[in-house]
Amino acid sequence: MDKEIIFLVEESPEGGFEAKALGHSTFTEAQTLDQLKPMIQDAVRCHFDEKARPSVIRLHHVHDEAIAA
């Protein structure tokens, strides 16, 4: 059992947010960050059985921004 799982959270090109687990085939999406958090918890519960479920979910927010040079 891993102690934690890390999700990469990015803004979706279609709007809203996407969350992808690093090292696992777990993915979810939602319109807002507040809606995304319970969706991530649900995805982890669905992906892992109770004994193998990580005890901590860490969110790594990525904000891509370009500025003029």
Domain boundaries, the chain: 4-62
Q: Which CATH architecture has domain 4-62?
A: 2-Layer Sandwich (3.30)
Among 36, 31, 35, 32, smallest CA distance to 20 is for: 36
| pLDDT band per the 50, 70, 90 thresholds, residue 66 | confident
pLDDT band, very low/low/confident/very high, at 1 (cuts 50, 70, 90): low
User: The pTM is what?
Assistant: 0.86
List pLDDT tens digits, range 7-64: 999 999 999 999 999 999 999 999 999 999 999 999 999 999 999 999 999 999 998 8
* Per-residue CA distances from 26 to 11, 63, 65, 66, 67 (Å): 17, 20, 26, 29, 32
